[in-house]
Amino acid sequence: MERFVRASVVLAGWWRSARGWRIGLVLFVAGLVSTLAHAPVHSIPALIFGVIVLVLALDAARTRERRLRAGFWRSWCFAAGYFLGSTSWVANAFLVSAEEHAWLIWAPLTLLPGGLALFWGVAGSLYTRFAPDGPIRIGVFAVLFTAVEFLRSVAFSGFPWNLPGHIFEAGTPISQMASVIGALGLSAFVLFAFASPAALTGRGHWRVRAAPLVLSAVMLGGFWGWGHARLANTEDTFTDTRLRIVQVVVSQREKRFANRFNILQTYLDLTTRPGLEDADAVIWPEGAIPTVMLEDSTVLLEIEDALPEGTRLWTGVTRREHFPEGELYYNALAALRIGDGTIQLQARYDKVRLVPFGEGNPFVALTGLAGFQSLSTNAPYYTPGPGAQTLDVPGMPGFAPLICYEVIFPRFAPRGENRPSFLLNISNDAWYGNSAGPRQHLNQAGLRAIEEGLPMVRAASMGASGVIDALGRPVRLSDPQMNEALDINLPSALQPTVYAVHGDSVWIAGGLVLLASLQLFVLIASARNQRQWRL
């Protein structure tokens, strides 16, 4: 403890003397290193280091004459490194059609992390303005940065990717707290707990300064103990519903209309392997066959001839509707059944949350000037569907589809009487290659399962396919680089979780109570120390 305090004092002194681009570079590197806390590495000390460095830098910025500008600059630099490390894999999508989009690869490597960092820059500026002296500033830090993470999750269609709470591997004890406080509540805890060692610097009695660290340690122990007990005391049970999940390894560059029959044949060969008669449904991923499938009679005829009577096939499709004024395209899931010599459409879901610049473009008036509309290869733009749904297919438990990007949004599933029996995430991770992106996507899917108390079935092209139970633990997952057909019985759902019922209100109320208690403790302890000093 003494060594840490001495090192912190030295570091705090350096922050006070450092200026301009030098401190910005140090913070950028600290933010970049912090991303190692996320999947696939899950090196949590990396983010602890980064958050402490950021808080000490902001504390020093409070002594500057232009503290608001200094706070913004320092937080922005840290966040620019953090978001560059978190989202650099997005650049792979611009190389799929490199002849058209490679010249734009600078955008996801500069504009995306720089734009996301603006949220943190605002939080840093507000911190330098409103954070008080003493350990309570750690609570102010957590409140401000959690608030901007919430805004990042909803503003401009939202992008809640790699929240601080996503550092915990789904299925581990601490990740179980997502069933109570969700990923955003875990983020608030992470920001407070990881910043708490910085409170040891500054003035006041060491016991007062240590209060946030002690509180964080108690909370961490409580979270781990509760999560461990939840995992140990929840019995693994499975339903009689058996699913065949088919994964085909094909790069996004090869997913072209001209290749549709070769790709289709690979899917059919895997689908018709022995054991198909025991499967209640077959699942193919998003964008499985590169065509407007429901209109492509030759593709439908191939499927009809290959699959036996009664087969249910749930697959991602590009869907089109024709109107006198034009056409609308949808990224959809189609629940098909082979019956009476035809393919029947039993249910359909249209994707609601579209990937910016991949499926839709809110800034097309601006990007169009540079000749860029979207990265989509099957359609110029997609139209969002009406909303989240539970699909009821005859003879099957109800399920809520989450197409690719939608799985990163908390509480994006029907509840109450429409609560599904499981979540179905179909995804096309081939856009991002063998990068960290698909692995982070998988971990966030596991956290959604914990939040809802529902098993997650996943079919991902060049991403891990399989089944995750309602506690976020993988039941069985494929190798993303192998063609595979997985036969898995569906795990049972749990009762609706606290988070599924009440959302973020639980952790917000609890957090306010804890911060008020911390402030009261600091006031009492400080007053007692002052009396002792006078005596």
Query: What is the model's pLDDT at position 191?
Result: 98
Q: How far is CA 55 from CA 65, 137, 214, 342, 412, in A?
A: 18, 9, 18, 64, 33
pTM: 0.92
Q: Is 77 a catalytic residue?
A: no
Outline where 18-66 has alpha helix (H).
20-34, 44-61
For 12, phi then psi, to 5°, come to -60, -40
Give pLDDT tens digits for 188-237.
999 999 999 999 987 767 778 899 999 999 999 999 999 999 999 998 89
Radius of gyration of the chain, Cα coordinates, nearest whole angstrom: 25
> Which amino acid is residue 7, in one-letter code?
A
What's the angle, vertex CA 113, arms to CA 110 and CA 119, rounded to 5? 135
Instruction: Say which of 77, 302, 351, 406 is annotated catalytic.
Output: 351
- Note the pLDDT of residue 533: 44
Q: What is the DSSP letter of 378?
A: S
Catalytic option among 77, 149, 255, 286: 286
**Domains, the chain, ranges and CATH?**
2-232+504-534 (no CATH), 238-499 (3.60.110.10)
pLDDT of residue 99: 81
Degrees (nearest 5) of the Cα angle 280, 489, 500?
Answer: 105
- Rounded CA gap, 84 and 453, in Å? 32
452 in catalytic set? no
**What pLDDT is recorded for position 340?**
82
Catalytic residue among 255, 302, 404, 406: 404
Write down the pLDDT at residue 356: 79
List per-residue pLDDT tens for the chain, 535 residues long.
455 456 555 555 555 566 678 899 999 999 999 999 999 999 999 999 999 999 999 999 998 889 999 999 999 999 999 999 999 999 998 888 888 878 889 889 999 999 999 999 999 999 999 998 889 999 999 999 999 999 999 988 889 999 999 999 999 999 999 999 999 999 999 999 999 999 998 776 777 889 999 999 999 999 999 999 999 999 889 999 999 999 999 999 999 999 999 999 999 999 999 999 999 999 999 989 999 999 999 999 999 999 999 999 999 999 999 888 788 999 999 999 999 878 999 999 999 998 877 776 666 656 665 566 666 666 667 899 999 999 999 999 999 999 999 999 999 999 999 999 999 999 999 989 889 999 999 999 999 999 999 999 999 999 999 999 999 999 999 999 999 999 999 999 999 999 999 999 999 998 888 888 888 877 777 666 655 544 4
Residues 6+ apart with CB under 8 A from 534: none
Whether the CB-CB separation of 177 and 193 falls below 8 Å is answered with no
- Tell me what pLDDT residue 19 has: 65
Q: Would you state the pLDDT for residue 534?
A: 47
